[in-house]
Amino acid sequence: MKTAINKSLITLLKVVISFAALYFVFTKIDVSQLISIYKDANHFWVVMAVLSFALSKSIAAFRLNRFFTSIDIHISEIQNLKLYLLGMFYNLFLPGGIGGDGYKIFILNKKFEVRTKNIFWSVLADRMSGVYALFSLSVILLYIIKIEINFNYLSVVWLLIPLGLFFFYFILKKFASFLNKVLIKTTLLSFLVQLMQLVSAYFILKALGVEEFQFRYLFIFLISSIVAMLPISIGGMGLRELTFLYGSQFLFLDEGSSVGISLMFYLITAFVSLTGIYYSIRTERIEI
């Protein structure tokens, strides 16, 4: 009973944080401008953004299955994709309780004679791989946009890319060495996942008619994707918009367009994640 109450309170807190952050953002921008931006959006580029994001998630599911294979969990790519979509749905629309990652661990532990610890580390390593790719691409874009910072300092930041990979390898070596055999392959897949999401963000820029300072918007997008991973909101809602708001102020970008990009990406995420509801209702369709 106490556990259920705690989970409900955590969920409520996430909802409050998300909507409080959104309310704050909307008090800082011209909402009529945002509505106008959406009314004039190019539908073709919106569709392209949706398709690019969906492709990125398909690649992400394929990457996760590489981790599963390394611990002798063998499921087809189609069934793994279904499980991945169900996890996305749980993470975004059911933020309380077991969550998408927890559900995957539960199902796989029930079906296969594999230690829960090994499944947990596979799922965690999958997330860590994504964060590393996001960070590395952020460093690259930071160099491209050449904001007013000390470039001697930036040269040191470049070193964080190989250091980050070494740190990732060290963590797996210490706690889950059985995953290191797929480290290079999954890391490359992580870069492909994030590049496809960057493409999706670029298509959103095209859809909203944003032609200037595109690399700066994409840099903020990468940073917002890292911030959105913090487990304190509903699928990053509110946190991503806050990041875009303050990032646009720091990089002298249009605040309305920045928030518009962020909200559209969230809506695309929600749209793709909603497909997982089918497997929530028809769980027998995930025949692992």
| pTM to 2 decimal places | 0.90
Res 266: pLDDT: 92
Res 286: pLDDT: 66
Give mean pLDDT in consecutive 10-residue pieces for the chain, a chain of 288 residues. Answer: 64 81 82 86 96 97 96 93 91 67 86 90 94 93 73 71 90 91 95 97 96 94 91 80 91 91 93 87 67
How many domains does the chain divide into?
A: 1
Res 150: pLDDT: 57
Res 90: pLDDT: 87
Q: Which domain holds residue 268?
A: 2-285
Res 35: pLDDT: 87
Res 129: pLDDT: 95
Enumerate helices (H) and strands (E) in the chain, giving the number of each: 13, 0
CA distance 233 to 23: 14
What is the distance in angstroms between the CA of the first residue and the CA of the last residue of the chain?
Answer: 32
Res 74: pLDDT: 92
Q: How far is CA 184 from CA 92, 176, 190, in A?
A: 29, 15, 10
Cβ-contact 59, 206 below 8 angstroms: no
CA distance 171 to 267: 34
